[in-house]
Structures are given as structure tokens and as C-alpha cells.
Structure 1
Amino acid sequence: MICLRGINKAYCEKNGEERVIFRDLDFCPANGERSVAILGRSGSGKTTLLRIIAGLDVDYEGKYLFEGEAQAKDMAAAATLRREFIGVVPQNALVLEDRSVLANVELGVPKGIDKKQGAHGCLERVGLLDRERTSAAKLSGGEAQRVAIARAVAKQPRLLLADEPTAALDEKTEAEILTLFERLVADGTRIIIATHNQAVANWCDSKYEIEDYRLVKV
């Protein structure tokens, strides 16, 4: 589905020095790799990699193909790709605190589907249906993360990108989220997870680690 070729990415530090994130990075998961874990130390570029795949970062060198089509390094085109095909679960759950839990998830429901019904189904899958009328401002960190997951799943994405999706969850809820991910994979969604959690990584079909600015399959 996705293929990154020769990706180079660097930042300019405040002191003016260049900090290399990726150098000639390739990432082309095989068709059988329905769920992929991205591993690496803090600061190695896991979040940056997901942002490039999501089209949230277009400031890089190299080629990005989605289902064989080269993607323009253009924010408007990237937004279209994300809206139509890609769901994103950020590391820090981004919920709108001035809205209810239900209203937050409804934002992810695509056109043509009843928003309330679609959001209800996703909240039930993450165990928060009884909190649908609660203000998002009153949620715990783990609850907010589950809302972010429900909103991303509501989009019915072809590709789900999740950045440390279980970091704020207890073991029971983590297992429930992995069960949800398993159902998504069975239904045809591909999942790429950036994680430090070995249990989550072991759940995935394959694991890649960022080493020396490149991805290495482990």
C-alpha cells in the first residue's frame, strides 16, 4: 500500500546545527505485513515517520508512493489522501475539550454514514459508550486516548497510523484495543504502530527499528 524510497529528513537546531533524522530510508511493507510495529529509541524519528506517511510533514527528500501513485509534497494533496484513506491516532490524544465525547468521534465519521450511529458503534468498540455525553475536558488521559482511537476508526480508513496508542492505557484496556485492531486488520485495514511497548510490537505481523537513520526489519 505504501512505499517510501530514499527518504532524507533533517531539522535545523536552534544553534544552527543540522540534525539528521533519516538518511536514504526505505520502507515498503509487503502485502502480508498487515500490522507493522515501528521501534526505536526516543528521538529516533518514529513520530516523524508516521507524520510523513500521514501527509502531515511534506518537508523531506525522496519518493512516497501510495498504492503505486507518487504523492506530491503538497499539504492540500496530503490532506485529501488523509481524509479519504488514512486514520491517525496521535501520541498525545487531541480531543476538543469544548465538545462531548460523542461529538469528538462524530468528526471522524465519513459522509454518507449516519454520524451518531457510526460514532456510537466506535465508542462501544473502545468501551466508552456510557461516556458519550461527557465533556471531553473531563476525561482521563486513557479515556481521551480511547476517544482518539474511536475517532480514527470511525473514518473506516484503509491505513491506520497509531503513535504509542496504548501508552496511557492499563493492561486490560490495552488488550481490548489490540482486539479492536485485530478486527480492523481482519476487515482489511492495514495498521502501522510506533511503540515502545514490546507486547504491542509482538502483536504485529512484523517489526522494524530505526537504526542509523534507516529502517531495519527485526
Structure 2
Amino acid sequence: MIALRDVSKTITEPDRSPRVLFDRLDFELSDDERSVAITGRSGSGKSTLLRILAGLDTDFEGTYEHDGRALERTAPRMAAHRLRHIGIVTQDADLLGDRTVLDNVRLGVPERSGSAALALAALEAVGISHLAGKRPGRLSGGEAQRVAIARAIAKRPPVVLADEPTGALDERTEDDVLTLFDLLQRAGTRFVIVTHSGRIAQRCDRRLVLHQKQLLEPHP
């Protein structure tokens, strides 16, 4: 599936001092894992790691592998990989207010031909096809997040990367989103979820902690 080998990354702090974020970090999402949770303290680099997995950040040392083959780490090559294989869910949904729910989901499909049918199928999968004609401003927080999830899965990617996907939701709505994630996993979608929530982490097949520049298995 996807893997990072010996990844190191240094960032520049606001005072212009350098800080090593990752030091020869390894990560692998294997074919038999449906979900992996990544936890860690604020500032440890969780969102940056997710951006690297998404191919949005190519400024690092090391190797990005897909199905056992190293990918050329250029913006065009990683963008092509992302379009084919990766869906992304952010905490704040990031919907366009001047477009309908259906049109927002269609933005997740690279090919325009047939995108409406794929978008509608994704909305049906997350249980909100009846909202297809609405504008995001008329949605609840949970509905907006379901639209974001539908947009991420509309092109039917094998992997979805989710960055604090329930951070802005109440507990009941979080439960609804987690149930939806479970259903999507059973249908074959794999998830890598960055989260501060122990409830979310416990529902994943594997849990990792980003600590001291490395991804570590948590202590029992």
C-alpha cells in the first residue's frame, strides 16, 4: 500500500531557528489494516506527516513508496498519485459556500465525465443524498462533515487521510461519523486518522504515537 522510509524533515520556527520534526521516521499502511490512528502532542508534526502522506509536502528526505515502489518526489508526480489513490478529509470540511452539496462533492472527482453519478453515489454512501441540492451554509456541522467525507471517497480511493475529522463536532455527531467510517472500512476503504481523541484511536486497528521525531507503538 503506502509507506514512508527513513523520512527526515526540518522546519523553520517563527524566530527563524531550525527544528527537526522527523528523524528517519518510518510508516507503513499494510494491505491487511483498515485503519491507523496517529496521536501525539500539539506541534509534534501530525498534520505535517499527513500532508507528506498526501503528497502535498515533498520537502523532506527519505522515500515515499506505493505498492513497494519508490515514487519520484516531485509535485506533479505526487499530485497524480494523490488523484488516483488518496482521499483527504479535513477538520473544517472546507466546502465552497456558493456551490451545492453535489457540486462540492464533484470537486473530488478528477474526471468531469460521470462525476455527478459518482458524487451522488458518495452522498448516498454517507446517507445524505437528500441534501444534494442544498448549499453548505444550510447544513449542520455533522452534515457538512459528511459532505467532506463524501468528497474524499467520491473517486473511490483506496486510502482516506483524515486530519482531526471530528474535532469540531459534538460527541453524538462524532459517534455518527465514526460509525460511518466503520461502514466505509468494511466496504474496503482504508483510513489514516490524525486525532487527539482517545475514542477515535481505540476504534482503529492500529495506534501510533508521534513522539521525539518518531512514530512509536503506544505503551500498553
Q: TM-score, normalised by structure 2?
A: 0.90
Contact 1:100 1:135 in 2 (8 A): yes
Task: Determine helix, strand or coil for the equivalent of 1:19.
Answer: strand
Deviation string 1:73-112 (CA, Å, 9 cap, x unpaired) is 2110011001011101123321112211111012223548
2:199 counterpart residue number: 199
Matched residues, number: 218
Cα deviation for residue 122 of structure 1 reads 2.2
Structure-1 separation of matches of 2:8 and 2:114: 42
Unaligned 5+ runs, structure 2: none
Deviation string 1:22-58 (CA, Å, 9 cap, x unpaired) is 1111112443322100000111111111100100000
| Residues 69-78 or 103-112, more deviating | 103-112
Q: TM-score, normalised by structure 1?
A: 0.91
1:135 counterpart residue number: 135
Task: Determine helix, strand or coil for the equivalent of 2:124.
Answer: helix
Structure-2 separation of matches of 1:183 and 1:143: 17
* Paired residue type of 1:146: R
Structure-2 separation of matches of 1:191 and 1:36: 6
CA separation of 1:168/1:127 partners in 2, compared to 1, >3 Å: closer, same or farther?
A: farther
Contact 1:3 1:66 in 2 (8 A): yes
RMSD between aligned residues: 1.9
* Paired residue type of 1:69: R
Deviation string 1:101-151 (CA, Å, 9 cap, x unpaired) is 111012223548733332223223334333222222444444332211110
Q: How does 1:115-134 map to 2 (within 5 A)?
A: 115-134=115-134
Structure-2 separation of matches of 1:156 and 1:7: 28
1:170 counterpart residue number: 170
**Runs of at least 4 residues of structure 1 off by over 4 A?**
none
2:87 counterpart residue number: 87
CA separation of 1:113/1:159 partners in 2, compared to 1, >3 Å: closer, same or farther?
A: farther
Q: Does residue 1:50 correspond to 2:55, yes or no? A: no
Q: How does 1:35-74 map to 2 (within 5 A)?
A: 35-74=35-74
* Paired residue type of 2:174: E
Unaligned 5+ runs, structure 1: none
Structure-2 separation of matches of 1:29 and 1:100: 34
Structure-1 separation of matches of 2:170 and 2:103: 25
